Chain A
Amino acid sequence: QSVVTQPPSASGTPGQRITISCSGSRSNIGSNTVNWYQQLPETAPKLLIYGNNQRPSGVPDRFSVSKSGTSAYLAISGLQSEDEADYYCTSWDDSLKAWVFGGGTTLTVL
């Protein structure tokens, strides 16, 4: 069982706004920055968004994040078919002294 929990799946229709949650504890999300990765089918993960809504070059501002206590959220607005992918959150855990990943959320665009 992951230290950080994500819903295994999410779905939405084109143009819709969806949110993926990432739930942890005080020792990880509650104390440290959260980063999100996107993994398209059959490809390596790539950094999607990190820290305080910082996006690598090329990532559209349709992707945004927020954090509240020990949970973090990835929001995708104006959903597109190309957004179909697995999404992972990660954070450093002060107690484990290790990086922890959420189990991943598979996003389906209906």
Chain B
Amino acid sequence: QVQLVESGGGVVQPGTSLTLSCEASGFTFRAFGMHWVRQAPGKGLEWVADISSDGTRTYYAPSLKGRFTISRDNSRNTLFLQMDSLRPEDTAVYYCARDATWVFDHLGQGTLVTVSS
């Protein structure tokens, strides 16, 4: 079965960087585009970024472009999200999600990022 396991979250200070990982299993990772979606505490879902199956095309939420970088390593079945210049408003649970052509059909359990001094 499809499994997506996020890791790398934690408590960090404003202005610092953090890289999240999402390890995929149960499907042919290199054949699917992937996304990151986040959810601030008590708030709704927000799309963050996506990447094509071969990693050559990336898209970002307009408000985040320039600070976040999505990437993937198909040899390791792993998706990444590098987050720079973190702000308190970036505090959220970050989910990775599989793209099944215009739909995120599976999401992981998420990893919590807390940006606080």
User: A residues bordering B, Cβ < 8 Å?
Assistant: 2, 32-33, 35, 37, 44-47, 50-51, 56, 86, 88, 90, 92, 96-104
Please tell me which one of the listed residues A2, A86, A92, A97 contacts residue B102 in the complex, with CB atoms under 8 A apart: A92
- Number of B interface residues in the complex (CB < 8 A): 22
A98 and B62 within 8 A (CB): yes
How many residue pairs, one in A and one in B, have C-beta atoms under 8 Å apart?
A: 57
Are B104 and A100 in contact, CB atoms less than 8 angstroms apart? no
- Whether B105 contacts A47 by the Cβ 8 Å rule is yes
Contact B44 A44 (CB under 8 A): no
Contact A44 B107 (CB under 8 A): yes
B47 touches A100 (CB 8 A): yes
Chain A interface helix/strand/loop/mixed: strand
Closest to B45 in A: A101
Interface positions of B from 68 to 104, Cβ below 8 Å from A = 95, 102-104
Asked if B11 CB lies within 8 Å of chain A CBs, one says: no
- B31 interfacial by beta-carbon distance below 8 Å: no
Please report the C-alpha to C-alpha distance between residue A47 and residue B35 in the assembled complex, in whole angstroms.
14
Separation in Å of the B110 CB from the closest CB of chain A? 6
